[in-house]
Amino acid sequence: MIVESLPVHARLDQPLKLACGLVLENRLAKAAMTECVADPRTNQPSERHDRLYARWGRGGLGLSITGNVMVDRRYLERTTNVVIDARTDRVALRRWADAAQATGTPTLVQINHPGRQCSVFVTRRPVAPSPVKVDVLGSFATPRALEDHEIDALATRYAEVAGDVVEAGFSGVQIHAAHGYLASQFLSPRTNLRDDRWGGSLENRARFLVEAVRRTRARIGSSVALAVKLNSADFQRGGFEEDDALQVARWLEAEGIDLLEVSGGNYESPALMGIVDERAESTKKREAYFLEFALKVRREVRTPLMLTGGLRSAEVMRSIVADRSVDVIGLARPLALEPDLPRGILSGQIERSAMKPPRTGWKSVDAMIEAGWYGVQIARMADGKEPDPSIGRWRALTSYLGDESVHAVQRAFASP
């Protein structure tokens, strides 16, 4: 199906109404960034989350998406993730929703399971579709293949978590099916070697995501926002490719999701950060890493599109929303340093994010330095301080690696 009846023009400051009825006051969204500010012994939302999201909420965003929250406390992306389960403090969860949305910024909670990309500081026995280890600096353990009944239960867990956060007052959820985490592992033939109903054909590989989406919708109803973050591709030979992603986007449209965010890459190939191999060299030259793929989706799928990755100048943001290439601009790293950027762009006072990422040229290390550097800025805001652009790359790397090991020790000595 080719979409023909799109309005011809849109502006960054123009509201967008999603199918569920949620209205975004403008087209600038905060993309998910793992906050790493929960206590590693409890993994509860805390005042640090409240302060952080209140700070972002004051920056003029049309939509905010939380960092990934975990569905199972045995398997975390970082030791300091928030976990939503029976032990979650409902009062603290509600406080977080209230703080994030105090200025009227609708906030979605990103739901995730790391699968094989589970921190080695959390467990040496992660789970995944198949026993395929992450090949990054030897820092990940070989996962155990999930049983059929475990996969089925996990799809339901996503829906239960969605129900809990919506009950707490969040405006909706985003299911994380990008960046090589569990749902993305199911989609990729490199990491999903199964020959049962969860593997093999694209339809089977997409079953976990489609089931999670379907069950989530059934749990939260049609008047609450349900978004998905999807990879355009893994940017790896034999991985999840654009044609597959396009078909998955069609299936997600059929499931009636409200917003599709487009990204790409994973830990082994961090295209999401603009770090790509030669095959994908052309994406590096552009400001919007995944625009080409978004345009392909746009031609065939009616679901509102959010594009994230590399967007820095108001001019590019304005033009791709104006010509209806995409509906929403996703910003991550710039907001770790410049929480008021959306207001500045909308008012015409800021033309470009001033952010300058520290890099070494070694892609795996750069991904960690970047994550650490932005992590330090995020932690500052969680502590009520403003970001500090003078933080150096080695401080960032030691923060990335060192904090995780300290937190792992704290976790090990915490009472269950």
Residues that bind ligand FMN (CB under 6 A): 31-34, 67-68, 110, 176, 178-179, 229, 263, 272-273, 308-311, 331-334, 370-371, 374-375
DSSP 8-state code for residue 95: H
User: Nearest approach, Cβ of 192 to ligand FMN (angstroms)?
Assistant: 20
Q: Which is nearer to ligand FMN, 121 or 199 (CB)?
A: 121
By beta-carbon proximity to ligand FMN, the closer residue of 155 and 227 is 227
Helix (H) or strand (E) run with residue 244 in it: helix 242-254
**Residue closer to ligand FMN, measured from CB, 98 or 287:** 287
Minimum CB distance to ligand FMN, residue 332 (Å): 3
Residue whose C-alpha is closest to residue 216's, from 169, 153, 168, 156: 156
Shortest distance (Å) from residue 197 CB to ligand FMN = 27
Least distance between ligand FMN and beta carbon 240 (Å) = 15
Least distance (Å) between residue 395 CB and ligand FMN: 15
- Residue 225 tokens, joined: 């926002």
264: its two tokens = 């790409």
CB-nearer residue toward ligand FMN: 10 or 32: 32
CA 376 – CA 230 distance, rounded (Å): 27
In terms of CB distance, is 92 or 329 closer to ligand FMN? 329
Nearer to ligand FMN, 239 or 274 (CB): 274
* Cα atoms in the 13 Å half-sphere on the side-chain side of 76: 28
- Residue identified by tokens 């939509």 is 63
* Least distance (Å) between residue 222 CB and ligand FMN: 24
Closest distance between ligand FMN and the C-beta of residue 270, in Å?
A: 9
Contact 113, 72 (CB under 8 A): yes
Strand 63-70 and strand 259-263: pairing?
A: unpaired
- Cβ proximity to ligand FMN, 199 vs 353, nearer residue: 353
Q: Who contacts 188 (Cβ-Cβ below 8 Å, separation ≥6)? A: 180, 205, 234, 236, 239, 240
* Residues 6 or more apart in contact with residue 390 via CB below 8 angstroms: none
Helices (H), 58-141: 90-100
Fill in the amino acid letter for 92.
Answer: A
257: tokens are 């999701």
Distance, in Å, from the CA atom of 407 to the CA atom of 289, rounded to the nearest integer, reads 33
